[in-house]
Chain A
Amino acid sequence: MPQDRLSATFSALADPTRRAILARLASGETSVTELAEPFAMSMPAISKHLKVLEHAGLIARSREAQWRPCRLEAGPLKDIAGWVEHYRRFWEDSFDRLDLYLRKLQKGEKKNGRKKK
């Protein structure tokens, strides 16, 4: 997965307002006005958040309808889920290698004359 996209997704998700926006969009397409309602924030401030989300590919805004509804794009979130899964796999894999390495070390030790037990 491209690292740059991952970084963009991470920084977009670092903000609680943007996470709240995403949660809201999970229930369907919404206009920017509707989206702004629950937040004590100016429209320009909301637009700024939307731009960050759009840049990260987390949302898309329709070019067709006059009211340009926002909708959630799930792809990048899936990338992240995959990434954290990688983190678990990192340890599982490292443990496998550690196991092999310890076997190798101990075998070598026996060959080179038994050390104290």
Chain B
Amino acid sequence: MASAAKTSEAPYRELTITRVFNAPRDLVFKVWTDPKHLSQWWGPRGFTNPVCEVDLRVGGELRIVMHSPDWGDAPMKGTFREINAPERLVFSNIAVDKDGKTLLEGTTTVTFEDQGGKTKLTVHTHARGVAPIAVQMLAGMEQGWTESIDKLGDYLRQI
């Protein structure tokens, strides 16, 4: 039962991470989209990717199961929304727990900018789901909640 948690009212949390890689754009795009390469670097240190499938076409699926001896399996799946080689890649991504329950839903946009032989890579994720809400609660960012949320923040700091 892949019952996605009710996320329709959930606000978004955005995350943008940028880095310049000393490699030509075509190569960076290739290691992002070829599962043979993707499985070699995806995920935190200590994780391997025993499952890494990429169906590189709009509507095609991306499926990765990360594995580490300490954490076990961490599955993730997504669907390609936009493919514009070698500049831009948009895919939905869903992290699920081992029972297939949705932990987090998001859309990730990856842009590859040519910088004279180097590549500026930007990953932008809109994460929707209950996890972002909790963080906004903690940070007191969600509008309309400010006062009580500030108190919550204070309270949490004291503990």
Tell me if A72 and B152 are in contact (CB < 8 A).
yes
Tell me if B133 and A19 are in contact (CB < 8 A).
yes
User: Which residues of A are found within 8 Å of B145, using beta-carbon distances?
Assistant: 23
Specify which of B5, B19, B27, B148 is in contact with A10 (CB 8 Å cutoff).
B5
Contact A102-B44, Cβ < 8 Å, known A10-B130, A23-B137, A80-B134? no
Contact A91-B123, Cβ < 8 Å, known A27-B151, A97-B45? yes
Q: List which A65-117 residues lie within 8 A (CB) of chain B.
A: 72, 74, 77-78, 80-81, 83-84, 87-103, 105-106
* Interface size, A (range): 35 or more
User: What separation, in Å, do the CA atoms of A31 and B70 have in the docked complex?
Assistant: 42
Cβ of B65 under 8 Å from chain A: no
User: Which residues of A are found within 8 Å of B21, using beta-carbon distances?
Assistant: 98-99, 102
Main secondary structure of the interface of B (DSSP, over half): mixed
User: Which residues of B are found within 8 Å of A94, using beta-carbon distances?
Assistant: 41-44
Tell me if A105 and B27 are in contact (CB < 8 A).
yes
User: Which residues of B are found within 8 Å of A92, using beta-carbon distances?
Assistant: 17
Number of A-B contacts (CB under 8 A): 126
Tell me if A98 and B44 are in contact (CB < 8 A).
no
Cβ of B37 under 8 Å from chain A: yes
User: Which residues of A are found within 8 Å of B31, using beta-carbon distances?
Assistant: 98, 101-102, 105
Contact A84-B135, Cβ < 8 Å, known A24-B148, A101-B37, A102-B28? yes
Chain B residues with CB under 8 Å of chain A are: 5-7, 9-10, 13, 15, 17, 19, 21-23, 27-28, 31, 37, 40-45, 97-99, 101, 103-104, 121, 123, 125, 127, 129-135, 137-138, 145, 148-149, 151-152, 155-156, 159
- A80-B131, A102-B23 given; name 6 further pairs at CB < 8 Å: A14-B5, A84-B134, A87-B125, A88-B15, A98-B41, A106-B27
Q: Which 3 pairs, one residue from A and one from B, show the smallest C-beta to C-beta distance? A: A26-B152, A93-B44, A97-B41
Can you name 17 A-B pairs with beta carbons within 8 Å? A7-B103, A14-B5, A14-B7, A26-B151, A77-B156, A78-B159, A80-B134, A87-B131, A88-B17, A91-B17, A95-B19, A96-B45, A97-B41, A102-B21, A102-B22, A105-B37, A106-B27
